[in-house]
Amino acid sequence: MATVVELKQALKEALEKRGVLGQIRANIRAEVFHALDDQSEPRPPLSRENLLINELVREYLEYNKYKYTASVLTAEAGQPEVPLDRQFLVKELNIVEDANAKSV
């Protein structure tokens, strides 16, 4: 019969192997941030430039499956919950998309 320590270790290894443990830790960090976020100190208005930069960072994070990090960025930066349309970003940043850029 396995001891409690052995069961904990087996559970930790199984969660790490499936990649779930990192997601759980990231989710906990995001929730702690939300709980501790001081709403009494107002943020400065989000400038157009910062909105676009934050959106590019969010797109990068989501592309790489860093969804909890992206959710913290969205909350902390005051970024809109709904991502900006990619075509809007292309137009605003004067990007010329080729076949390689469209797949990213």
**CATH classification of 42-104, choosing from 2.60.40, 2.30.30, 1.20.960, 2.60.420?**
1.20.960
Give the chain's residues under pLDDT 50.
none
Indicate the helix (H) or strand (E) that contains 38: none
> How many other β-carbons are positioned within 10 Å of the β-carbon of residue 79?
19
Res 59: pLDDT = 92
> Domain extents for the chain?
1-36, 42-104
Please indicate, yes or no, whether the overall pTM of this predicted structure exceeds 0.85: no
